[in-house]
Amino acid sequence: MGMTFDLSFFFPEPWPANNGREDARRCRATRKDGSPCRTWAVWNASEQLCAVHLHPTRRKRREMTPAIRKEQARRHSPVCRCDAYDWPHRE
């Protein structure tokens, strides 16, 4: 007579990603047609908005002046060449 084991406790049913928190994660902005935005809000943002509504304007490449490019380059983290990796990487 063989013995059988119930190993289902090793593989629990996955929980839904939002688990009843859908309203807390939805974007609170309205779209141009007046309907509510249905996308997910950005994590750890100051306001509960999606990426599109949180950063509504983006510069076109032709609008980038040399001063803006220089400031953006300064804000990026420097390239790290430590021994942790065999290639240059960002800190």
CB-based contacts of 27, cutoff 8 Å, min separation 6: 36, 37, 38, 39, 40, 41, 48, 49, 50, 53
CB-based contacts of 40, cutoff 8 Å, min separation 6: 25, 26, 27, 50
24-44 pLDDT, tens digit each:
788 999 998 999 998 988 888
Give this prediction's pTM: 0.43
**Residue 15 scores a pLDDT above 70:** no
CA distance 2 to 52: 59
pLDDT of residue 35: 94
